[in-house]
Amino acid sequence: MTNPANVQSPGLRAAAPSRPGLRPAGTRPTPARNASQNAFAQALAQANAQNQLFRNQLNSAGAAASATSALPYAQQSGLPIELQSLSLFNSAVAAPAATLKLPGGFGQMVDQAAKKYGVDPALIAAVMETESKFNPDAVSGAGARGLMQLMPATARGLGVTNASDPLQNVLGGAKLLGQLSQKYNGNLELTLAAYNAGSGAVDKHGGIPPYAETRKYVPLVLAAYERSKAQVGTTAPATPATPGTGR
């Protein structure tokens, strides 16, 4: 005869302990990510965090100045009301974009190249910083030269006859960025990846190629780009860039 004390109520019956290592039925294992993918994801997340910080700082500065900047110049200047309507500055006039202050005084060259090829000057400066640290005499182990680190074949294709000449080099790099940006419909990450690894590699892999240098390069330029934009207070659209290896 069964002892009632040994019978458990259905509602109190203990569930069977789960077996470690087993997945619930109907689920799939999460694919493992290799070290290169994890490193790139972390670097890109860090660059995006820095970008958001710069945007927040710019928004705060803009909000603080909005009360004043929204007024016509005549009112800002404190002219008497009866003279404000006579002021030559009473109409809103867009101020010219500030020239980037770059090491070596290359800001005007960057502006010239940006206007000629429709590329954001802050992006050109970011590529220049990442590629050569603003050194016009820089030469990579692969043979890339100058501020924008143009490979000889790439330079010839861009019409650059002397890659060691700073102006020609900057114009060539800006031209390449503009071409790549158009090819990839303004996608900044793909533009930068193609500048570094070549558009053939980007097309072959359908995105940023799995090269350690390229996956490190893209976040570096993105972070430098945000710093350059913060300097001139712009939020201009993104543009492409090119490294000194393997174009």
Amino acid at 87: S
Query: Positive or negative, the Cα torsion across 111, 116, 119, 124?
Result: negative
Amino acid at 98: A
Helices (H), 99-197: 107-117, 121-132, 152-157, 166-183, 188-197
Indicate if 131 belongs to the active site. Answer: yes
Q: Which two tokens stand for residue 78?
A: 């404190």
Q: Which of 129, 131, 189, 226 is catalytic?
A: 131
The answer to whether the beta carbons of residues 194 and 218 sit under 8 Å apart is no
Q: What angle do CA 95, 67, 237 make, to 5 degrees?
A: 45
Q: What's the per-residue H, E or C state across 20-36? A: CCCCCCCCCCCCCCCHH
- The catalytic residues are 131
